[in-house]
């Protein structure tokens, strides 16, 4: 094996990512080539330097804060979807009421609601029943 071939495989050799036959060939070469041996040693030192780089640590409450953030996010999604449903529900009710108004007192649903005439003033129910009465009166 020549120095040039060893050079191209030197990284995989250092990382123990070579097949055993290739590894043995490189080791045989390194035993008799001081230049390549020196190179391998230099790269090992480089790796050691990288491994010794300062390690940083997260703040102690990092995980807890993150979980809190995620909980809030989940809660706000749940709230917004509830709000959406509520809004859609109101929209649907209004649509039903509108069609009921158009149909006047013929609709059985209108007659049933007409029995409840105790809505708070200016509430949708109050307006609805007032309108119903007017329609029914004519």
Partner 1 sequence: MDDSELQLIRATGKGDHEAFEHLVKRYQNPLLNFVYRYVGNRQTAEDLTQEVFLQVYRAAARFEPKARVSTWVFKIAYNLCMNEMKRRKRLASYELELHMRGEQSLTSLSPDAVEQFGLKQFMMKTLTQLPEKQRAALLLRVTEEFSYQEISDVLGVSRASVESLLFRARERLRQLLARDEME
Torsion sign over Cα 83, 89, 93, 94:
positive
Tokens 């959406």, located at residue: 84
Task: Tell the smallest beta-carbon distance from residue 14 to partner 1 (Å).
Answer: 8
Q: Which of residues 71-110 bind partner 1 (CB under 8 A)?
A: 71, 73-74
For residue 15, what is the DSSP state?
T
Q: Which of 1, 12, 113, 131 binds partner 1 (CB under 8 A)?
A: 12
Q: Which is nearer to partner 1, 32 or 57 (CB)?
A: 57
Residue 70 engages partner 1 in binding (rule: CB under 8 A): yes
Which uninterrupted H or E stretch holds 65?
helix 62-103
Interface pick for partner 1 out of 2, 35, 58, 102 (rule CB under 8 A): 58
* Residue 60 found at the interface with partner 1 (CB under 8 A): no
What is the rounded distance in angstroms from the CA atom of residue 53 to the CA atom of residue 134?
84
Count of H helices and E strands in the chain? 6, 0
Q: Enumerate binding residues for partner 1 (CB under 8 A).
A: 8, 10-12, 14-15, 17, 42-43, 46-47, 49-58, 62-64, 66-67, 69-71, 73-74
């Amino acid at each position: 094996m020549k120095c040039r071939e060893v050079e191209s495989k030197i990284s995989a050799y250092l990382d123990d990512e070579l097949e055993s036959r290739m590894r043995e060939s490189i080791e045989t070469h390194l035993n008799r080539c001081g230049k390549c041996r020196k190179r391998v040693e230099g790269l090992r030192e480089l790796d050691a330097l990288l491994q010794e780089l300062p390690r940083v640590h997260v703040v102690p409450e990092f995980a807890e804060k993150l979980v809190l953030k995620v909980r809030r996010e989940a809660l706000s999604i749940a709230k917004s979807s509830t709000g959406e449903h509520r809004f859609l529900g109101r929209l649907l009710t209004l649509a039903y009421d509108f069609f009921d108004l158009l149909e006047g007192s013929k609709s059985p649903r209108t007659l049933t609601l007409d029995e409840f005439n105790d809505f708070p003033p200016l509430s949708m129910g109050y307006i609805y029943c007032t309108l119903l009465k007017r329609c029914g009166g004519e």
